[in-house]
A and B are shown apart, each in its own frame.
Chain A
């Protein structure tokens, strides 16, 4: 994916600003979107992240023109698009998989939008060449979709969507049907492409790693609305609700006395008014101790770090009954399974809420 000429060719596209204002959607009695407010700045890459049924896909499909909104307004560069038919919105879309036209070659797939717009043949050929370079598939013009791997198909789908120079590009879980390696390389490529073309992108995913790795801002959605929208780092370090803290990354929920200072060494609190601390696994340490409150039950090797799970002894009415800690894999031998340990906090909890 390296061709500056290709980028220059496409860079004339002006990125658009998207604004959802109180957009809601009902299917019969079920409300899928409850007054969504969201602004995406020109050239920004925003990910909509959430569990299935949170309304993220519906929000995207309303912008694409494949669903209607029950109420609210949706503008692209200040123009209301809700009444504009899908094919006149100038919004590109890449969906899960199998979206390529199976009867057309790669070249014809990529040129489809240009043929529909009656662009001249010479321009189509020039664009095709630079787009296939851009997505790293030069020389694939004569293949058919069924001859390509899943990752290659999605690259072609990307080139096809970019060919018509959309003001906005929507990605609806474009990587979810791919295997892990292709997925991680393609997500970097999509991000680089977006930065180089400066195009506004809205990306829907249920995979938090994908959202955190790619987007300028991540909107965590729940029950048809946005729970929190922030830069990935802020979302991870300062979640505003317990849902976000639990959905993005892994957290341990540790109970402490209501209003008490954050302790260095944590001990289970079994009664009285309590607060819950949400602590990331890398901000905890396990230390060997005969009078420790937990014992180690498992190791999961993950390369540089190993995730150790320790079970808290006795019953826990609030918070986690198991503590997950990430340690450098080199130090795992000091923490064998069965070892009695105590729990030390080495950093600020991501969130504190009343239990």
Chain B
């Protein structure tokens, strides 16, 4: 009896302490994330000599380099997301349906960017592009090199960002396709008269909506924040421009980086909401089983 009650007391103690410990950890984590951002926020809107002001924000937006950097980054972001999904979704579907033996090889190839530092990727690209240009003005390799580096439409950055997202995109889509009975669904749709493109659009995509949205978000976050490759290849994307104005107007650069951070968070929240809405069938299904 005594022993039992002692155990119960210990268990009760754990029951009381464990949630508190959990909350303490969550609060600690929240502080770790928010304190630096709050400091940055205060720094960006409080100027000791002039009090509270939004001037740094206005200054950063008024900077002559800002519109160019913003439009370049947005263009790259949109192109990268579209190209990434157009490339990877059909590839992964094909891999699962027709070439499952190739899956381990593709997985390794897609994981390489995770272990190769992005500065190495950038340095390699610079070397290749330079050697292609070295064939001489007007030669085919030089023209390709120029095309890839077009300052208005830097294809090379789009390509690099696709490569950098591959490890995460592969895993996410792979997991998504594993959760559905892909072959049966595709064959059923074919036998009902749907062509390959229709099957992809009407059957596969709706059933891997969550992973696809995750990929898009991850890609957007990467495009908005990537610095190493862009600066090495000499493009003035938003992050590159930010570090440049940090030298002349530090407060403005902090305010702008806060804005970008807020934008990323807003996207994350929007995507989470969207992904939650993407699976109404499953939620309904759970309710159906309970009743």
Contacts and interface: CB of A to CB of B under 8 A. Distances in A.
A93 B188 CA distance: 7
A314 to B, nearest CB: 53
Interface string B174-194: 000000110011011111111
A67 to B, nearest CB: 11
B195 A87 contact: yes
A164 interface: yes
A101 B207 contact: yes
Which of A103, A117, A144, A157 has the largest count of B CB atoms less than 10 A from its CB?
A103
Interface string B106-140: 00000000000000000000000000000000000
B281 interface: yes
Given A99-B184, A99-B185, A102-B207, A146 B190 contact: no
A87 B284 CA distance: 31
Contacts of B206: 101, 103-104
Contact of A66 (B181, B187, B195, B288): B187
A86 B191 contact: yes
Interface in A157-179: 157, 160-161, 163-164, 166, 170
15 contacts: A64-B191, A66-B190, A87-B191, A90-B193, A99-B181, A99-B185, A101-B185, A101-B188, A112-B189, A116-B202, A144-B284, A145-B285, A146-B281, A157-B188, A160-B192
Contacts of B284: 144, 146-147
Contacts of A143: 288
B120 to A, nearest CB: 41
A64 B189 CA distance: 12
A117 B193 contact: yes
B203 A91 contact: no
Contact of A116 (B185, B194, B207): B194
The list of the 4 closest CB pairs from A to B, nearest first, reads A146-B285, A147-B288, A113-B192, A93-B191
Contact of B198 (A65, A85, A116, A147): A116
Contacts of B181: 98-99
B288 A87 contact: no
A151 to B, nearest CB: 16
Given A95-B188, A98-B184, A101-B185, 18 more contacts: A64-B187, A66-B190, A87-B190, A87-B193, A87-B194, A91-B191, A99-B185, A99-B187, A101-B188, A102-B281, A104-B281, A113-B192, A113-B193, A113-B194, A146-B289, A147-B288, A157-B188, A166-B191
A89 B207 CA distance: 26
A102 B288 contact: no
A100 B202 CA distance: 13
Given A144-B285, A164-B193, A93 B203 contact: no
A164 to B, nearest CB: 6
Interface string A109-152: 00011001100000000000000000000000001111100000
Contacts of A96: 184
Given A146-B281, A147-B285, A93 B189 contact: no
Nearest to A101: B203
A55 interface: no
Given A103-B207, A116-B198, A164-B192, A93 B187 contact: yes
A50 to B, nearest CB: 21
Contacts of B194: 87, 112-113, 116
B111 to A, nearest CB: 30
B191 A116 contact: no
A92 interface: yes
B191 A102 contact: no
Contacts of B180: 102
Given A102-B207, A144-B288, A161 B192 contact: yes
B191 A161 contact: yes
Contacts of A157: 188
Contacts of A90: 193
A288 B165 CA distance: 81
B191 A146 contact: no
A103 B192 CA distance: 17
B286 to A, nearest CB: 8
Nearest to B195: A87
A135 B192 CA distance: 18
B101 interface: no
Which of B190, B193, B195, B202 has the largest count of A CB atoms less than 10 A from its CB?
B193
B6 interface: no
Which of A92, A101, A116 has the largest count of B CB atoms less than 10 A from its CB?
A101
B192 A116 contact: yes
A18 to B, nearest CB: 15
Interface in B266-291: 281-282, 284-285, 288-289
Interface string B145-156: 000000000000
